């Protein structure tokens, strides 16, 4: 019997080739979709990991003000840390491009050649892959730097420049104008000494941790190693040092000068005091001489009186008043006044010498005080203020380095979307298969019953009925998987990553779970579903099967009195074809979910670009390495700091705190007065799910500090994960001086040396950086949209065709009665119009809601604003697309209806 039954398999396939081909296309497409999306993401993620392992990716990197000494390097190596100097210089090419030149590498972040060989002599250079692709550089091309021409010996990638951004802080990656290059050590030295270098050599070390000494320990060790400021050559630092740490020297110098001055003062005054006694004695002698001389003069006039300082006034006054000689009287008065003056002079001298003596005492005290001040200041500075500086200027762990694993991080979204789509698709096609099986089993009911009655076993029948669907599903899955793993699958999906990131050629990974999903799962699902349904069917009696008795639920017996015939018939038909109708609704829902996944992806990326462009009102943003005091020529100053958020879905993000002035025209923010309050950006609101009244906690990893702010408002600013406060509050919180700033927003470019800046952004660069997301995601967006349309068409077509097939008997009966094709379509198909319209009206917003809820998880690794507000026209477009597809499919199905002949009804025999 088995042999006889097996002959029917091919005949069944031939008879229903259209249906089976459509099912095959759905399965193959689904498998292709999931395998290509997930496989591509997996290839990038795993390939990146292997690339990193193969090339000894750094665990982190740091920069120092001065080169580490050999002893320091040896000490670090004794902690089981591998270090490699990866110093670089930036050179400007004739066409304006910047090449960052490194020496060939030996231990860390090794150069992986995509083509050619490493630079082996001083005339050769290896160019990073993306820059070479963007600039049409290939092996044998020449590059002229300064007056030296280099021959390109290799095209390569390195794991530390996965995303070849010029600056870590850059928003955009521009491989048209920036790339890395590698030369021999001697060629590097030669370039270092040339005048073409645009940026001073950076003392950057890459490190790999091999033991227990952690990155944190390394950072502490580096921080603890001090240098003197005068060892530093960084001009920006020196300028800052002059304004900050350098002022202690000024203080010390001032005190020294003061001490020196006080010494000189004391010496002078002492010298002045030395003649005080002589001066006093001379004044007394002068007074005595005057009085003696006056007494002698009076004697010559016959007046014998000895004048003293005690009697001269009264004596001379009396003599003057009693003499009849007027001239004599006047002379006596004049003598009296002269004696009085000489006494005043003498007393003045005495007062002066007393004063200088007191001054000498005070000066000595002053000098002692200044000396004490000098000693105490020195002691305080030496004991309490460590005025040496840490040699560490920059420290970045690999996990925080956006150049590393950038491509892998970007495709995590694809991976998540692919996996979710995979599950959704599996549910769909399991259901579609079940509808097919139920239809098949019902239409074969009398045959099954007859065979059962004739003695066929359950196993014979199950084997017979599951063979064809299992084979179809296996072949379709295999075909879908093969296409998925082929260049038009995984390779096609990775094209966007290769167009943006500097990656080596990764090998396609044949993941066992993907192979299982693509090849084993479809036939397995078909076998299980068939098995269950046939088992259930075979639980009926043979007679019941022969009579094809269908059980009708209560819903089938619903009363429809009062409705018009057409409506009544359509409702009956929809109830009768509930399973197929549900499959259409499910297919519609899944298609809408997938299309919404695509639309949300597009919306998210385009809104990021649009919002960033609209919200970025400044043209330039400069962030200094060190705080500044002198006001810029133009622009608006701010004081800010880059901190880290708490973990959100397992990821931390850089978050800026901007302390801005009230008159800053670039941000429409009402700044809170309280120092612990901030206004958060829209991006922070959506990404961190923070609202007014919540607490924003940010972390300064370098300083090991936590900051907690109350959210006082939400600014309509989506371009950055940031928050705002007043500049004064920011200065106070981050320990800056009253008039310091470290950020300038401006409309025009300012001439600030690049080595003074930690961040240099311009609106064009920011915009370009975010616009790339749409390009990056276009492959995924397109394939999801395409797949959703194909799935919708096929599911709708297949299920509506199943409805027609299941109703072929009654359709032929209708034809017997005189109904024409269009009338029959109206009765049997058009009821689905309401199903599709109502289904779309309900499911479209539902799919949008579900995807909107899922997207924050999909992009949990990205610091981008989650704005999924879609243009309503797109929703209308999708609705119209569904309706148009429905009309096309129902029109196509008229052909199938026309093939049902009236005589079909006459074949019906019990």
- Say how many Å lie between the first and final Cα of the chain, rounded: 24
Q: How many CB atoms lie within 10 A of CB 670?
A: 10
> Tokens standing for 285?
């002698």
Q: What is the distance, to the nearest Å, from the Cα of residue 141 to the centroid of all Cα atoms in its chain?
A: 36
C-alpha to C-alpha distance for 708 and 699, rounded to whole angstroms: 9
> Tokens standing for 781?
């967006």
C-alpha to C-alpha distance for 829 and 811, rounded to whole angstroms: 11
**Three-state SS for 880?**
helix
- 61 has which bridge partners? 206, 396
SS3 labels along 500-559: CCCCCCCCCCCCHHHHHHHHHHHHHHHHHHHHHHHHHHCCCCHHHHHCCCCCCCHHHHCC
Looking at the Cβ atoms of 502 and 570, the one nearer to another protein is: 570
Q: Which residues make up the interface to another protein (CB under 8 A)?
A: 549-550, 552, 556-557, 559-561, 565-566, 568-569, 572-573, 575-576, 810, 813-820, 898, 901-903, 905-906, 908-910
- Helix H or strand E segment including 810: helix 808-817
Q: Which of 867, 846, 847 is nearest to 856 (CA)?
A: 867
Q: How far is the CB of 460 from another protein (least distance, A)?
A: 30
> Tokens standing for 84?
């490699």
Question: Taken in order 462, 464, 465, 471, is the CA torsion positive or negative?
Answer: positive
Looking at the Cβ atoms of 405 and 573, the one nearer to another protein is: 573
Looking at the Cβ atoms of 198 and 550, the one nearer to another protein is: 550
Looking at the Cβ atoms of 732 and 904, the one nearer to another protein is: 904
SS3 labels along 43-62: HHHHHHHHHHHHCCCCCEEE
C-alpha to C-alpha distance for 552 and 279, rounded to whole angstroms: 139
Looking at the Cβ atoms of 310 and 817, the one nearer to another protein is: 817
- Helix H or strand E segment including 330: helix 326-383
Yes or no: say if 530 and 465 are a contact pair by the CB < 8 Å rule: yes
Yes or no: say if 295 and 332 are a contact pair by the CB < 8 Å rule: no
Q: How far is the CB of 903 from another protein (least distance, A)?
A: 5
Q: How far is the CB of 562 from another protein (least distance, A)?
A: 12
Looking at the Cβ atoms of 566 and 853, the one nearer to another protein is: 566
**Three-state SS for 72?**
helix
Q: How many CB atoms lie within 10 A of CB 261?
A: 13
Looking at the Cβ atoms of 56 and 806, the one nearer to another protein is: 806
User: What are the angstrom distances between the C-alpha of 248 and each of 251, 256, 262, 586?
Assistant: 5, 12, 21, 75
Looking at the Cβ atoms of 247 and 820, the one nearer to another protein is: 820
Q: How far is the CB of 900 from another protein (least distance, A)?
A: 11
Looking at the Cβ atoms of 558 and 853, the one nearer to another protein is: 558
Looking at the Cβ atoms of 499 and 813, the one nearer to another protein is: 813
Looking at the Cβ atoms of 265 and 814, the one nearer to another protein is: 814
Yes or no: say if 104 and 124 are a contact pair by the CB < 8 Å rule: no
Q: How far is the CB of 802 from another protein (least distance, A)?
A: 16
Q: Which of 367, 373, 370, 375 is nearest to 269 (CA)?
A: 367
Looking at the Cβ atoms of 331 and 830, the one nearer to another protein is: 830
C-alpha to C-alpha distance for 837 and 576, rounded to whole angstroms: 19
Looking at the Cβ atoms of 304 and 561, the one nearer to another protein is: 561
- 698 has which bridge partners? 645, 707
> Tokens standing for 29?
């497409």
Q: How far is the CB of 891 from another protein (least distance, A)?
A: 17
């Amino acid at each position: 019997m088995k042999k006889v039954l097996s002959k029917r398999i091919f005949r069944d396939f031939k008879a229903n080739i259209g249906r089976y081909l459509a099912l095959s296309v759905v399965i193959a497409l689904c498998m292709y979709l999931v395998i290509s999306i997930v496989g591509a993401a997996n290839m990038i993620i795993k390939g990146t990991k292997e690339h990193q392992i193969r090339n000894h990716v750094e665990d982190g990197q740091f920069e120092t003000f001065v080169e580490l000494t050999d002893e320091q390097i040896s000490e670090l190596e004794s902690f089981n840390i591998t270090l490699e100097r990866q110093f670089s210089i930036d050179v400007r090419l004739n066409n304006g491009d910047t090449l960052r030149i490194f020496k060939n590498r030996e231990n860390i972040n090794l150069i992986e050649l995509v083509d050619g060989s490493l630079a082996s002599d001083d005339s050769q250079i290896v160019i990073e892959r993306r820059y070479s692709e963007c600039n049409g550089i290939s092996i044998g091309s020449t590059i002229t730097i300064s007056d030296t021409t280099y021959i390109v010996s290799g095209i390569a990638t390195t794991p530390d420049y996965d995303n070849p951004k010029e600056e870590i802080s850059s928003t955009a990656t521009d491989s048209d104008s920036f790339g890395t290059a590698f030369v021999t050590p001697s060629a590097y030295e030669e370039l270092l000494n040339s005048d073409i270098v645009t940026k001073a050599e950076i003392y950057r070390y890459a490190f790999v941790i091999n033991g227990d000494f952690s990155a944190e320990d390394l950072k502490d060790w580096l921080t603890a190693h001090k240098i003197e400021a005068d060892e530093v050559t960084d001009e920006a630092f020196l300028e800052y040092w002059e304004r900050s740490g350098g002022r202690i020297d000024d203080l010390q110098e001032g005190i020294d000068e003061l001490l020196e001055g006080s010494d000189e003062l004391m010496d002078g005054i002492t010298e002045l005091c030395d003649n005080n006694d002589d001066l006093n004695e001379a004044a007394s002698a002068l007074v005595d001489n005057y009085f003696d001389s006056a007494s002698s003069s009076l004697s010559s006039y016959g007046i014998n009186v000895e004048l003293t300082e005690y009697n001269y006034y009264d004596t001379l006054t009396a003599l003057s008043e009693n003499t009849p000689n007027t001239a004599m009287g006047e002379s006596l008065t004049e003598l009296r006044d002269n004696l009085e003056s000489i006494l005043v002079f003498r007393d003045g001298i005495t007062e002066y010498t007393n004063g200088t003596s007191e001054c000498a005492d005070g000066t000595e005290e002053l000098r002692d005080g200044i000396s004490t001040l000098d000693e105490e200041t020195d002691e305080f500075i030496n004991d309490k203020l460590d005025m040496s500086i840490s040699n560490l200027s920059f420290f970045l762990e690999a996990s925080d380095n956006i150049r590393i694993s950038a491509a892998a991080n970007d495709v995590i979204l694809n991976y998540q979307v692919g996996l979710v789509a995979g599950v959704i698709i599996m549910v769909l096609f399991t259901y579609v298969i079940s509808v097919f099986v139920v239809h098949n089993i019902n239409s074969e009911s009398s045959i099954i019953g007859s065979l059962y009655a004739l003695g066929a076993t359950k196993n014979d029948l199950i084997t017979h009925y599951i063979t064809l669907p299992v084979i179809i599903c296996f072949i379709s899955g295999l075909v879908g998987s093969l296409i998925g793993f082929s260049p038009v699958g995984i390779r096609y999906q990775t094209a966007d990553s290769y167009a943006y990131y500097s990656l080596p050629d990764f090998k396609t990974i044949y993941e066992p779970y993907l192979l299982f999903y693509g090849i084993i799962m479809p036939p397995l699902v078909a076998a299980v579903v068939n098995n269950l349904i046939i088992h259930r069917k075979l639980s009926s009696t043979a007679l019941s099967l022969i009579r094809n008795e269908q059980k009708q639920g209560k819903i089938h017996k619903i009363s429809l009195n009062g409705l018009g015939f057409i409506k009544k018939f359509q409702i009956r038909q929809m109830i009768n074809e509930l399973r197929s109708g549900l499959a259409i609704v499910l297919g519609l829902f899944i298609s809408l979910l997938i299309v919404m996944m695509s639309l949300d992806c597009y919306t998210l990326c385009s809104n990021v670009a649009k919002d960033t462009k609209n919200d970025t009102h400044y043209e330039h943003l400069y962030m200094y390495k060190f705080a500044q005091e002198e006001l810029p020529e133009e622009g608006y100053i701010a004081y800010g700091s880059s901190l880290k958020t708490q973990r959100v879905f397992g990821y931390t993000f850089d978050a800026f705190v901007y302390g801005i002035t009230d008159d800053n025209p670039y941000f429409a923010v009402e700044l809170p007065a309280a120092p612990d309050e901030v206004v958060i950006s829209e991006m922070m609101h959506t990404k961190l799910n923070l609202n007014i009244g919540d607490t924003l906690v940010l972390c300064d990893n370098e300083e090991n500090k936590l900051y907690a702010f109350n959210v006082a408002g939400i600014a309509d600013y989506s371009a950055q994960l940031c928050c705002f406060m007043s500049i004064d509050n920011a200065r106070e919180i981050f320990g800056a001086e009253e008039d310091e700033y470290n950020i300038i927003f401006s409309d025009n470019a300012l001439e600030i040396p690049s080595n003074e800046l930690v961040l240099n952004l311009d609106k064009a660069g920011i915009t370009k950086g975010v616009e790339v997301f749409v390009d990056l995601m276009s492959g995924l967006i397109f394939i999801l949209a395409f797949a959703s349309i194909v799935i919708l068409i096929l599911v709708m077509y297949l299920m509506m065709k199943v409805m027609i097939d299941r109703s072929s008997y009654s359709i032929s009966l209708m034809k017997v009665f005189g109904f024409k094709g269009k009338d029959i379509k109206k009765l049997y198909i058009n009821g689905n119009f309401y199903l599709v319209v109502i289904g779309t009206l309900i499911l479209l917003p539902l799919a949008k809601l579900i995807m909107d809820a899922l997207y924050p998880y999909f992009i949990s690794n990205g610091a981008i604003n989650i704005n999924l507000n879609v243009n309503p026209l797109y929703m209308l477009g999708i609705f119209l697309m569904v309706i148009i597809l429905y009309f096309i499919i129902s029109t196509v199905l008229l052909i199938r209806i026309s093939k049902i002949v009236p005589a079909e009804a006459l074949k019906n025999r019990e």
